[in-house]
Amino acid sequence: MSTLSPLHAVHEALGASFTDFAGWAMPLRYGSELAEHKAVRTAAGIFDLSHMGEIELTGPEAAQALDYALVGNLSAVKPGRARYTMICDEDGGVLDDLVVYRLADDRFMVVANASNAATVATALRERAAGFSVEVDDQSASVALIAVQGPASPAIVGPVTGADLVSLAYYAAVPARVAGHEVLLARTGYTGEDGFELYVEGANAAEVWQALADAGAEHGLVPAGLACRDTLRLEAGMPLYGNELGVELTPFDAGLGRVVKFDKPGDFVGRAALERRRDADVDSRVLVGLVGSGRRAPRHGYAVADSDGNRVGTVTSGALSPTLGHPIAMAYVPVSVSEPGTALTVDIRGTVAPVEVVKLPFYKRPA
Amino acid sequence: MSIPENLGYTEEHEWVDLADSGVATVGITEFAAKNLGDVVFVQLPEVGAKITRGEPCGEVESVKAVSELYSPVDGEVVEINEAVIDSPELVNTDPYGDGWMFRARVAEEPDLLDAAAYDALTKES
């Protein structure tokens, strides 16, 4: 039995197709995922992300607890700001990638992927045990609505009455929508300007409706998880389970910068991550690949060098809706990771030429 | 979900039109197209190819998934829909019309599900 989002009835009324995502029945698409993708790139899309996990840490040592539990330097984050970070195990393997909001001096909200929410909540409870902090998993009661795309400020501004000019990327403020309290954050997973609104599940439908009504004249459309995946892929953003996993460290994913060795105190995974940072290994790195034609390299397909020797594996791939050609991410050895390197991908028995490129594939117009 | 009465169907979600005696027109159903999502690539057998019922003879690729196209008949391909190769979205916009895949000459009439049986099948899944 799937968990239903507090917005399930809204999606049914909109004719959504649903998919099971980590035990949640979530909208995959409402009509055409290509149209939804394009709307987010050119106007705006509204997403239900209520499957994400929200775990609050409150107490005088909340910051110290997170400094110990996560690889980031959370005590350095100012109230009202957010940080992209990771939680690793003792071996440096990534348990999840996270966005952490500092709501007040003594209060943080950790946002985890749906598939890892329970793991993260458990790990945070264990790691916070020695600190003066309460860990409260609110995943079941908190809904998350995202409005993403170039038109999103014109939609979200009037509905919330918030001063968006002073709301920077990775900042968050309390706001009100349709009379309900929300946490309004300028964050997202699409490569566009956009907002994420955290709201009590019981109020989610009214908040969604207010945003949808305000967005109608701006071309806002409901958008499902299918286009969310192609949007984040074009933007070169990792997806846990594809580009990230417990068998990889942040360094393997090219995200070693999230590990803050110079923060005060010890943290879980420090020793292993220091070894990994200092190791002189021909390690794998995450690269972008572009192809031609219409057939896309997909998750799990083999990557080979120009002599046909297997060098890696595709982690995510699709025919890019925005660019019109196949794009993929893959782990390959450093020796074949330079942009311009010619590689091939085995697309179900056909050897397709691809070229290594710098990520991201798509950057929004400045 | 549209399931035209005049067509035959397979468990692999192909439809077959046998209105022309001895020639079967083949496509995928609206149910299949909807489940795949936006189709972005279609690979079809070549004209002249011998195809075997239940065997893969092509590929339908959407943004999210790749699906084999199974031949619903034994026969020989006599025509393919070039338009659907150039514009794969026809599979979504008009699965029983402009989104047809290929025509094949068939020696004997294949055993197919009727619309009611196919409708029942889609409701099981």
For the CA atoms of A38, A39, A44, A49, what is the dihedral angle to 10 degrees? Answer: -80
Residue A196 marked in a binding site: yes
pLDDT at B54 over 70: yes
Helix, strand, coil content of chain B in percent (nearest 5)? 20, 35, 45
B38 in contact with A, Cβ within 8 Å: yes
CB contact under 8 A, A296 and B34: no
CB contact under 8 A, B64 and A32: no
CA–CA distance, A48 with A213 (Å, rounded to integer): 16
* φ/ψ (deg, to 5) at A269: 100, -5
Q: What percent of chain B has pLDDT over 90?
A: 90
Lowest-confidence range among A32-36, B5-9, B18-22, B72-76? B18-22
* Start-end of CATH 3.30.70.1400 domains in chain A: 53-137
Query: What's the per-residue H, E or C state across A231-274?
Result: HHHHCCCCCECCCECCCCCCCCCCCHHHCCCCCCCCCCCHHHHH
- Residue A229 three-state SS: helix
Task: Write the CATH number for B42.
Answer: 2.40.50.100
B34 in contact with A, Cβ within 8 Å: yes
What's the pLDDT at A264? 85
CB contact under 8 A, A319 and B63: yes
* A243-259 pLDDT per residue, tens: 999 999 999 888 999 99
Residue A109: its H or E element: strand A107-112
A224 in contact with B, Cβ within 8 Å: no
CB contact under 8 A, B63 and A318: yes
Q: Give the tokens for residue B117.
A: 């049986």
For residue A244, the one-letter residue type is L
Averaged pLDDT, A203-228 = 98
Contact yes or no for A69/A128 (Cβ under 8 A): yes
CA–CA distance, A333 with B69 (Å, rounded to integer): 36
pTM beyond 0.90: the answer is yes
Averaged pLDDT, A64-72 = 98
Please tell me what DSSP assigns to residue B121: H
Q: Residue A295: its chain B contacts at CB < 8 A?
A: 41, 61
Averaged pLDDT, A166-188 = 97
What are the start-end ranges of the H helices in chain A?
A: 8-13, 33-42, 62-69, 117-127, 152-160, 204-215, 225-234, 270-278
A229 in contact with B, Cβ within 8 Å: yes
What's the pLDDT at A280? 64
Q: How far is A321 from chain B (nearest CA, A)?
A: 8
Q: Between vectors from CA A13 to CA A12 and to CA A17, what angle results, nearest 5°?
A: 35
pLDDT at A281 over 80: no
With CA atoms as reference, the chain B residue closest to A28 would be B37
B68 in contact with A, Cβ within 8 Å: no
Q: In the beta sheet, which residues pair with residue A97?
A: A86
Please tell me what DSSP assigns to residue A216: G
Q: Give the tokens for residue A241.
A: 């389970």
Candidates A17, A33, A295; nearest CB to B61: A295
Lowest-confidence range among A147-156, A184-193, A250-259? A250-259
- Residue A58 three-state SS: strand
Instruction: Match 């690979």 to its residue by tokens.
Output: B43
Q: Domain residues for B49?
A: 8-106
For residue B38, being part of any structural domain is answered with yes
**A99 Rama sector, left if φ>0, alpha if ψ -120 to 50, beta otherwise:** beta
For residue B20, the one-letter residue type is D
Contact yes or no for A160/A177 (Cβ under 8 A): yes
Averaged pLDDT, A85-96 = 98
What's the pLDDT at A55? 98
Q: How far is B12 from chain A (nearest CA, A)?
A: 20
For residue B3, being part of any structural domain is answered with no
* φ/ψ (deg, to 5) at B96: -95, 0
Closest CA to A314 of A326, A323, A325, A324: A326
How many folded domains does chain B comprise?
Answer: 1
Q: Residue B124: which pLDDT band, with cuts at 50, 70 and 90? A: confident
* A328-364 pLDDT per residue, tens: 999 999 899 999 999 999 999 999 999 999 999 999 9
Q: Residue A348: its chain B contacts at CB < 8 A?
A: 59, 66
A34 in contact with B, Cβ within 8 Å: yes
CA–CA distance, A223 with A151 (Å, rounded to integer): 14
Q: How far is B115 from chain A (nearest CA, A)?
A: 23
Residue B94 to residues B2, B6, B122, Cα–Cα distance (Å): 11, 16, 19
A residues 331-360 near B, CB within 8 Å? Answer: 348
Contact yes or no for A238/A286 (Cβ under 8 A): yes
Q: Residue A282: which pLDDT band, with cuts at 50, 70 and 90? A: low
* B55-97 pLDDT per residue, tens: 999 999 999 899 999 999 999 999 999 999 999 999 999 999 9
What's the pLDDT at B125? 62
With CA atoms as reference, the chain B residue closest to A347 would be B66
- Residue A297 three-state SS: coil
- Mean pLDDT, chain A, rounded, equals 96
CA–CA distance, A102 with A144 (Å, rounded to integer): 17
Q: What percent of chain A has pLDDT over 90?
A: 95
Fold of the domain spanning A3-52+141-234: Gyrase A; domain 2 (3.30.1360)
CB contact under 8 A, A294 and B38: no
What's the pLDDT at A366? 79
Q: Which residues, including other chains, have CB under 8 Å from residue B85's CB and lie 6 or more apart? A: B42, B44
CB contact under 8 A, A319 and B64: no
Q: Answer whether CATH 3.30.70.1400 is correct for domain A53-137.
A: yes
For the CA atoms of A92, A96, A97, A103, what is the dihedral angle to 10 degrees? Answer: -110
For residue B61, being part of any structural domain is answered with yes
- Please count the residues of chain B: 125
What's the pLDDT at B21? 82
Fold of the domain spanning A281-357: Elongation Factor Tu (Ef-tu); domain 3 (2.40.30)
* Start-end of CATH 3.30.1360.120 domains in chain A: 3-52+141-234
Contact yes or no for B55/B14 (Cβ under 8 A): no
Contact yes or no for B71/B52 (Cβ under 8 A): yes
- Mean pLDDT, chain B, rounded, equals 95
Residue A102: its H or E element: strand A94-104
Q: How far is A326 from chain B (nearest CA, A)?
A: 10
For residue B116, being part of any structural domain is answered with no
For residue B123, being part of any structural domain is answered with no
The reply to whether ipTM tops 0.95 is no
